Amino acid sequence: MEETRYPMPLLGEKLPSIEAETTHGPMKIPEDLKGSWFVLFSHPADYTPVCTTEFVGFQKRFDEFEKLGCKLVGMSIDQVFSHIKWSEWIQENLNIEIKFPIVAANDAIANKLGMLHPGKGSNTVRAVFICDPEGKARLILYYPQEIGRNMDEIVRAVKALQISDKEKVAMPANWPNNELLGDRVIIPPCKDWASAKKRKTEYDNYDWWFCHKKL
């Protein structure tokens, strides 16, 4: 029998609308988060070791996300009471209070977001959607169940996207610790010959097509 495949959101597209129960009450996503950057991330299941380390990692950086005006929203196919009890366990045993909402998804919600992969049973994969204030997916990451995510990279990506939008620049690899440019940013390519001819006089550069500046 042919497997049913569900389309996942594409970069630049608005996240499909979902309504669900969460540990903070009913939510409609992305509508309830309009005007704010947010990170929607799924985990395979409550009460699992890798997921527990991830939730601690996200919460440890909660204030960093808050300073960026970015909200965190967790999600898995577990019922709300399980999310609440697991959050309670984390606080009682690890002394970490989970302050962000956790969505109690179902198969329909998870499939809308491409979070259920063939061969992985009913557990959601480790998906990350970084969305802008319009609810558009600006960066998407998928990790297998056996590999925990790097939360510092997610913080870095939010910062980079916000600066790129504001300054109309591109960010080099490993920004802000790039091997060539350090924390400098890259000027977008020229669109015509006249601009290319004077570009090297306007910015620090390796050539007219590789110009950079300090923020």
3 state DSSP class of 75: strand
Q: Which residue has the tokens 């996240």?
A: 15
- Nearest one of 104, 15, 99, 91 to 64, comparing CA atoms: 99
So which residues are the catalytic ones? 51
Decide if 2 is inside a domain: no
* pLDDT for the residue numbered 118: 56
Total structural domains within the chain:
2
Q: What is the pLDDT of residue 2?
A: 44
In a domain, 4, yes or no: no
- pLDDT computed for residue 89 by the predictor: 97
Q: What is the pLDDT of residue 42?
A: 87
**Residue 144 sits in the same domain as residue 195:** no
- For residue 62, what are the domain limits? 18-150
The model's pTM is: 0.89
With respect to residue 211, please indicate whether it lies within any of the assigned structural domains.
yes
Say whether the peptide bond before residue 101 is cis (omega within 30 degrees of 0). no
32 and 128 fall within a common domain: yes
**C-alpha count within 13 angstroms, C-beta hemisphere, residue 29:** 32
Which residues have C-beta within 8 Å of that of residue 122, sequence separation ≥ 6?
Answer: 77, 107, 116
**How large is the angle between the packed helices 80-94 and 49-60, nearest 10 degrees?**
70
**Pairwise CA distance, residues 75 & 46, whole Å:** 10
Domain check: are 144 and 181 in the same one?
no
What is the mean pLDDT for each group of 10 consecutive residues in the chain (215 residues)? 58 89 93 96 88 95 97 90 95 97 81 64 74 96 87 97 97 97 95 90 94 95
| Domain co-membership, 173 together with 128 | no
Per-residue pLDDT, 1: 38
